[in-house]
């Protein structure tokens, strides 16, 4: 049952909203990709449009779609992400957040986050952006992917009305972030692109208030809405799930090329970002694929964007797999640095030295991380205190 929280309840529950079980979905249609996207007949898990699944009437947590086109017979096509869902009246999008109501596209994930937390910015993970500051973190339901290993499937694979939520419109998000003394607002946990309208309206107000904006995402977004987001975006962590299109389709239900385009666009726009690679055994643990990935990064982005290798833990539909061996993560970090990546990290292993930051020039310890605390900090005004080398990132 849905609920809106007053301020007292909000403060007492600042660790986030409770998750509810996700109801089954019926009446799904075929994936709205062009014919050329299906020619190889790859076995994949791409999502579905939910036919006739829109509510009978709009609720107060709605907003007209930011980018879409009207087609014949009151059909609409969403242009936020590469799914390009084409919806007849009454249909719901792949991400479960958009509906066609009488020929108009609406987002039903607006002002109704199902999870609200105050996190260390290092948790995003962002290791080179405003260290030891707080990120006011929000999420609604929905995702453009169908990752077999999703760690937040209770909300990413849910529809807005299926979970408890907060009543928190953009101005209120900024107000609460200011009260929490958060340096940034993070759009995170589920897939932030699916609540694009809510995110960008909040981000614009945050920018006016002097609060930074962080986008934590799978990177599956079209260029025009990404360019608009970049105008108010300060940092991002984008998950580069693999460097193989077939694996993207089989493991995640998406495509590789749009994510690579996202990185290139943010690089061109001067947005600080960091990359995350969850090393899923049997899917993403091929050293040769990693070398090709590093080669693309170096050629198109340069060596200075941090790359995080995270340990996989058995979850959701991949509970049969074992956690990523520590030796694999250490090997991946070493390979990335040998290939020329300046800052590679091991993640999801508390206390591992691979989570520390070392100067790429003199190799000395710059930041020691113990959980989310930083007992050693040898960066001053963005430079190594030992050799005065500029350390890429946002350090104020």
Tell me whether residue 80 is in a domain. Answer: no
Tell me whether residue 378 is in a domain. Answer: yes
Q: Identify which of 351, 339, 260 has the alpha carbon closest to the alpha carbon of residue 301.
A: 260
Tell me whether residue 263 is in a domain. Answer: yes
Are residues 285 and 141 part of one domain? yes
Helices marked H in the chain? 7-12, 153-156, 170-179, 196-208, 223-230, 245-247, 257-269, 287-300, 326-339
pLDDT score of 39: 29
CB atoms within 10 A of CB 208: 10
**Phi, psi (degrees; rounded to nearest 5) at 186:** -110, 130
Q: Identify which of 95, 100, 102, 99 has the alpha carbon closest to the alpha carbon of residue 81.
A: 95
Full residue range of the structural domain in which residue 293 is found: 118-350
pLDDT tens figures, 303-359: 999 999 999 999 999 999 999 999 999 999 999 999 999 999 999 998 999 999 999
Handedness of CA 166, 238, 35, 245 (dihedral sign): negative
The H helix count followed by the E strand count for the chain is 9, 21
pLDDT score of 46: 80
Tell me whether residue 289 is in a domain. Answer: yes
Are residues 140 and 274 part of one domain? yes
Tell me whether residue 18 is in a domain. Answer: no
pLDDT score of 43: 57
Are residues 343 and 206 part of one domain? yes
pLDDT tens figures, 214-225: 999 999 999 999
Tokens linked to 40: 């190889």
Q: Identify which of 51, 182, 30 has the alpha carbon closest to the alpha carbon of residue 118.
A: 182
**Residue 246 maps to which CATH number?**
3.20.20.70
Are residues 360 and 340 part of one domain? no
Are residues 363 and 346 part of one domain? no
Per the structure, the count of domains in the chain is 2
3-class DSSP string for 19-74 = CCCCCCCCCEECCCCCHHHHCCCCCCCCCCEECCCCCCCCCCCCEECCCEEECHHH
Tell me whether residue 25 is in a domain. Answer: no
Q: Identify which of 85, 14, 101, 81 has the alpha carbon closest to the alpha carbon of residue 48.
A: 85
Are residues 367 and 276 part of one domain? no
Tell me whether residue 99 is in a domain. Answer: no
pLDDT score of 17: 34
**Phi, psi (degrees; rounded to nearest 5) at 297:** -60, -45
Intervals of the chain under pLDDT 50? 1-42
Tell me whether residue 146 is in a domain. Answer: yes
Note if the bond before 169 is cis, omega within 30 degrees. Answer: no
What angle is formed at CA 363 by the lines to CA 362 and CA 369, rounded to 5 degrees? 135
In whole angstroms, give the CA distance from residue 96 to residue 99: 8
Are residues 386 and 262 part of one domain? no
Say which DSSP state 181 is in. Answer: T
Are residues 224 and 129 part of one domain? yes
Q: Quick one: how far is CA 341 from the chain centroid?
A: 22
pLDDT score of 33: 33
């Amino acid at each position: 049952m849905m609920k809106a929280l007053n301020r007292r309840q909000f403060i007492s529950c600042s660790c986030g909203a409770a998750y509810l079980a996700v109801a089954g979905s019926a009446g799904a249609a075929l994936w709205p990709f062009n014919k050329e996207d299906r020619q190889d007949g790859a076995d994949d898990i791409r999502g579905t449009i939910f036919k006739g699944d829109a509510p009978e009437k709009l609720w107060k947590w709605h907003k007209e779609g930011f980018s879409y086109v009207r087609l014949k017979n009151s059909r609409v096509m969403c242009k936020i992400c590469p799914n390009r869902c084409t919806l007849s009246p009454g249909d719901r999008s792949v991400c479960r957040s958009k509906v066609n109501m009488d020929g108009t596209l609406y987002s039903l994930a607006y002002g109704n986050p199902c999870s609200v937390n105050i996190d260390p910015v290092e948790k995003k993970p962002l290791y080179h952006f405003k260290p030891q500051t707080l990120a006011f973190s929000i999420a609604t339901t929905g995702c453009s992917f169908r990752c077999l290993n999703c760690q937040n499937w209770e909300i990413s694979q849910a529809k807005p009305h299926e979970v408890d939520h907060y009543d928190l419109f953009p101005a209120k998000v900024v107000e609460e972030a200011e009260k929490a003394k958060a340096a940034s607002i993070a759009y995170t946990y589920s897939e932030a692109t699916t609540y694009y309208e809510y995110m960008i309206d909040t981000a614009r107000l945050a920018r006016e208030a002097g609060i930074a904006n962080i986008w934590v995402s799978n990177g599956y977004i079209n260029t025009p809405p990404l360019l608009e987001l970049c105008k108010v975006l300060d940092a991002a962590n984008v998950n580069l799930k693999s460097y193989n299109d077939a694996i993207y389709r089989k493991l995640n239900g998406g495509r590789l090329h749009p994510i690579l385009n996202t990185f290139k666009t943010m690089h061109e726009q001067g947005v600080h970002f960091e990359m995350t690679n969850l090393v899923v055994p049997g899917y993403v643990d091929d050293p040769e694929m990693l070398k090709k990935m590093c080669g693309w990064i170096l050629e198109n982005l340069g060596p200075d964007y941090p790359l995080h290798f995270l340990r996989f833990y058995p979850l959701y539909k991949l509970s049969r797999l074992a956690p990523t061996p520590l030796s694999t993560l250490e090997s991946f970090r070493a390979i990335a640095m040998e290939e020329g990546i300046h800052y590679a990290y091991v993640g999801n292993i508390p206390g591992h030295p691979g989570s520390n930051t070392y100067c790429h020039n003199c190799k000395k310890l710059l930041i020691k991380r113990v959980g989310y605390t930083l007992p050693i900090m040898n960066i001053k005004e963005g430079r190594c205190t030992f050799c005065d080398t500029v350390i890429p990132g946002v350090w104020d």
